């Protein structure tokens, strides 16, 4: 576990509302780039017509896709933004609610918004950066000074 207190008084909040049919991972990535927001925490609620979530399989070194081919509620979408090679990288996990009340979740790989997705990105210390972990090949937050 690593914990480090960071102080940065920007106070910027980016609100991104995805419209029907949009793909939220690319829409959000574009908004982060346009606004120069390279470190933040992400929350969102809304709905998807379909989605692919996944879990990281360490033996295969890749995400295994879990296809969701039905209308679902985005019960929780949480994540972070950190810089990798100077560009913002979104890392988000979603819990999706099905019509029968069951849930499915994992790393958000792609989705189609229906009817909306309301995303709040709160800027945090810009010193956060992602570095590729040689063991997993994943981009992980390295923390300040690493």
> Per-residue b/e over 6-30, b at no fewer than 16 CB within 10 Å?
eeeeeeeebebebeeebebbebbbe
Q: What is the pLDDT of residue 9?
A: 67
> 34 — phi, psi (to 5°)?
-60, -35
pLDDT along the chain (146 residues), means of 10: 53 90 96 91 97 95 96 96 87 97 98 96 78 79 61
* CA distances for 10 relative to 72, 89, 123, 131, angstroms: 35, 19, 7, 24
Residue 32: helix, strand or coil by DSSP? helix
CATH number, domain 13-141, options 3.30.1330.80, 3.30.420.10, 2.40.30.10, 3.40.190.10: 3.30.1330.80
Per-residue tokens: 36? 């120069």
Q: Across-strand partners of 62?
A: 57
Identify the pLDDT of residue 3. Answer: 43
Measured in whole angstroms, the distance separating CA 78 from the mean position of its chain's CA atoms is: 6
Reduce the DSSP state of residue 72 to 3 states and report it: strand
Predicted local confidence at residue 1, as pLDDT: 35
- The whole-angstrom separation of Cα 81 and Cα 33 is 11
pLDDT at position 4: 55
Q: pTM for the full model?
A: 0.85
* Contact yes or no for 72/47 (Cβ under 8 A): yes
């Amino acid at each position: 576990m690593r914990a480090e207190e960071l102080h940065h008084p920007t106070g910027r909040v980016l609100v991104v509302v995805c419209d029907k049919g949009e793909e939220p991972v690319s829409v959000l990535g574009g908004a982060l780039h346009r606004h120069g927001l390279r470190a933040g925490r992400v929350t969102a609620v809304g709905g998807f017509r379909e989605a692919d979530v996944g879990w990281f399989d360490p033996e295969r070194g890749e995400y295994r896709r879990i296809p969701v081919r039905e209308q679902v509620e985005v019960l929780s979408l949480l994540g972070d933004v950190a810089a990798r090679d100077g560009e913002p990288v979104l890392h988000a996990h979603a819990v999706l609610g099905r019509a029968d009340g069951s849930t499915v979740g994992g790393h958000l790989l792609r989705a189609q918004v229906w009817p909306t997705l309301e995303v709040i990105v709160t800027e945090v210390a810009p010193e956060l950066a992602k570095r590729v972990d040689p063991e997993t090949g994943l981009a992980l937050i390295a923390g300040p000074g690493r």
